[in-house]
Structure 1
Amino acid sequence: MQAEYFVGIDAGSYQCRVRLTDRQGNELANSCVKTTPLALDSSAAITAALTAVEQAFTHAGLSLDAQCQASAAFGFAGCHIGRIRQQAQAWPMPFMQHRVVSDLEVACLGAHTGQCGGVLIVGTGSQGTAFDGQQFHSLGGWGFALADQGSGAQLGRTALRLALSCHQGLTTHTPLTQALMAQFEQDAERMQLWASTATPSQWASFSPLIFDYAARQDNLALQLIDQLAADIDDLLAFLINRSQQGKVSLLGGIANPITPYLSPNSRRRLRKPLGDVLQGALLLARRD
C-alpha cells in the first residue's frame, strides 16, 4: 500500500519543525514547536515531535486519523548515538511507516538532493556525516571533552592556553595574546575562575577575535587558524573519501571565515547545500 502523505521532521535540540506533503510532492502544511534534546528527555522530545506532526495535519485540514496513511522521517539531534536512536525507534508511532535518523543525516540528504556527499558543521562544536549512496558514515558529535576538532570551542581554549603561556613568560606575547589576557584584566586567577565553569559556547566566543587578529597577520593568531584549518581539512578528507569522492557542504559559524585557510583540495570539494533539512527528511520518507 502506497502512502498518501509524507512527513519530514527536523527535531533539533530546542526546536522541532515539520513539513507535510502529498503524494505528488505538493506542500500541504508546516509547523514548529519548542522541544528539548532527545538525549536529555526522550519522552519530551518525541512527544513534541509528534505534537508538531499533529499540528501540521490540522493546519492542512486533515484528520489525525490520516497519519496512518503517511510515511514519516525523523531527523533527531543526538541520534548518531546508538542507544538514543534505539529509544526513538522503539517509540509507538501512528504512521504507515517511519524512519528515525540523526538531524545531520537528513541535512546531508537535503544538501545533496539524496545523492552521495557529506555535511560538516563547524561552529561551537563539530560534527559531520557522509552518504555513500547506501549508508551514512558519521564523524564527531562526542562533545567538547572528547572531540570537536576544528571547532570554535577548541580554537578558543587553545588560544587562551597560549595567552596564559605568554602571560607566564613561556612564550612571547603578540597583540592577540595581550588582547585575550585583557579580557581577564591581565589576571591568571581570574582566567582560571572563568575557565572552571565555562561552557563550550563561551570558549567559542573568542573565535571572532582570533580571526580578526589573523587578518592583521598576528603570528600566533595565524598559527592557531592554520591548525584549525588543518583539523578541518582532515575532517573533510574523511567525508570526501566515505562519500565516494562526493562534494561536502561546510556549515556553521566557523565555515565562512575558515574557508580561505583550507587546502586547495578541500576548497575544490566544497559545495553550497542544494536543499534544507526538511527536504532531506522528505526524501528519506519517500524511500522504499
Structure 2
Amino acid sequence: MQAHYLLGIDGGGTQCRARLTDLHGNVLAEAAGGPANVWSDYDAALIRVGALIDKVFLQAGLTPQALGQTSLVAGLAGANVASVQARLAGWQPACAALRVVSDVEIACAGAHGGEPGAVFITGTGSQGAAWDGTRFTLLGGWGFALSDQGSGAELGRRALRLALLAHEAVVEPSDFTHQLMAQFDHSPESMLLWTRTAVPADWARVVPQVFAAADAGDGHAQHLLSQTAADIGLMVRRLMTLSSGRVALMGGLAAPVHRWLAADIQASLATPQGDALSGALKLAGAHPAFSARADRVRAIN
C-alpha cells in the first residue's frame, strides 16, 4: 500500500517521542511519553510506542485507519541486541511499511542528514554509531551493567557510590554528598534496598545535582564530571577514526557536559543537522542513502 504519511519514533531510556508528517515533511503532530527500552522492558516499551502512535493520529485529526497509509520507522533503545531484534520481528503494527532500528542509528541519520558521519549519544545510557553510506558500525549499547560509558546512569551511579563513601568517612564529605545521602535518609540500608529495583533512569535522576554542585565549586562533583568527560572522549576518539572525524554529540548530557570535554574533542565535534526523529523520518521517507537495508557491524579494535 502506498504511504501518505511518515511516522518516526525515538524510544530512549528516559522517554519516547513520536513525530508524524506528510510526505512533504510538514509536521502534523508530535507526542512524548515514558521510556521505551526494548531490552530492559520489552512489553512496556511497545505499549508506550503503541500509545504514542494512537496519540499522534488523534492529534492530527486522522482516524486509526490512517496508520495503514503510513511508513513507520522506530528507533528503539535496545534494538541493537540480536535476541531483541528477533523478538521485534513479531511486532507488526498495521502500517504500510515498518522498519525497526536502534535509537543510535536514527540519531546518526538525523545528525548528518543521511550522509556519512558518526554520533555518540550520551543520555540515560550511551551508544555510538558510524555510518559510511553502506553500513553502520556500532559502539557500546550493551546495557548499564556492562557498557554506558559517559552516560547519565553511570554518572549517577558514581555519584551515589561517592556519597556512600563520604557517609562512611572514607573520603571527605561535602554539602553535595550530604544532599545525595539525604535522599535516602542518610541510611546506607535504604540506599541498598533502592538499588534492588532501580533502573538506569533512576540512577540518572541525580545528574542535575552533580552539575549544580560542580558549578558551585564542589570538588567531588567536578571530579565526577571530569570522569564522565574522559569516558565520552574515549568513545568519541574511536568514532572519529571510523568516520574521518565527523562526530556529533547528542542526548541529554551533550550540552551540559560539553565544557568539561577535552579541548581537542570540543574542537572536533560536528553540530547535528537534525535530531533523532528527523533521522527516523529520513528513513521512513526512503532517503536515497537508506533505500537498501543498512548492515550493522560491531567495531573491532
Q: TM-score, normalised by structure 1?
A: 0.77
Change (3 A) 1:180 1:88: closer
Quote the offset at 1:114 in angstroms. 0.8
The 1:114–1:124 alpha-carbon spacing in structure 2 relative to 1, beyond 3 Å, is same
Structure 2 residue identity aligned to 1:21: D
Q: Which residue of 1 aligns with 2:122?
A: 122
User: Contact 1:54–1:64 (CA<8 Å) still a contact in 2?
Assistant: no
Task: Say whether the 8 Å CA contact 2:125–2:153 is kept in structure 1.
Answer: yes
Look up the equivalent residue of 2:173 and give its one-letter code: H
C-alpha change, 1:217 and 1:74, in structure 2 (3 Å) is closer
Are residues 71 and 151 of structure 1, via their aligned partners in 2, closer, same or farther at CA, if it must alter by over 3 Å? closer
2:140–2:147 CA contact under 8 A, matched in 1? yes
Q: Call closer, same or farther: CA 1:29–1:83 in 2, change over 3 Å.
A: same
> Contact 1:31/1:52 (CA < 8 Å) preserved in 2?
no
> What is the match of residue 151 of structure 2?
151
Task: Report what 1:168 is aligned to.
Answer: 168
Paired residue for 1:224? 224
- 1:240 paired with 2:249, answer no
Which residue is equivalent to 1:48? Answer: 50
Measured at CA, do residues 6 and 268 of structure 1 come closer, stay the same or move farther in structure 2, by a change above 3 Å? farther
TM-superposed CA distance for 1:42, in Å, is 9.3
Q: How does 1:3-152 map to 2 (within 5 A)?
A: 5=4, 7-12=6-11, 15=16, 17-22=18-23, 25=24, 27=26, 29-30=28-29, 38-39=38-39, 40-41=42-43, 48=50, 55=57, 67=69, 73-89=73-89, 98-152=98-152
Over the residues paired in the alignment, what is the CA RMSD in angstroms? Answer: 3.8
Distance 1:47 1:201 in 2: 18
Q: Does 1:268 align with 2:267?
A: yes
Residues 15 and 205 (structure 1), Cα distance of their counterparts in 2 relative to 1, 3 Å cut: closer
Identity %: 36
Residues 121-159 of structure 1: per-residue CA shift (max 9 Å, x gap): 222222232222221122233322222221222222222
Cα distance in 2 for partners of 1:126, 1:64 equals 34
Instruction: Decide whether the 8 Å contact of 1:128 with 1:239 is kept in 2.
Output: yes
Q: Is the 8 A contact 2:120 2:128 kept in 1?
A: yes
Secondary structure of 2:121's aligned partner: strand
- 2:236 touches 2:247 (CA, 8 Å); kept in 1? no
Aligned residues between the structures = 281
CA contact (8 A) 1:116 1:130 kept: yes
Alignment partner, residue 199 of structure 1 = 199
- The answer to whether the Cα contact below 8 Å between 1:118 and 1:239 also exists between their aligned partners in 2 is yes
Any gaps of 5 or more consecutive residues in structure 2?
Answer: 292-301
> Which structure 1 segments of 5+ residues have no match?
none
Q: Give the AA of the match of 1:19.
A: L
The verdict on how the C-alpha distance between 1:28 and 1:237 changes in structure 2, with shifts beyond 3 A counting, is: closer
Shift of 1:20: 4.1
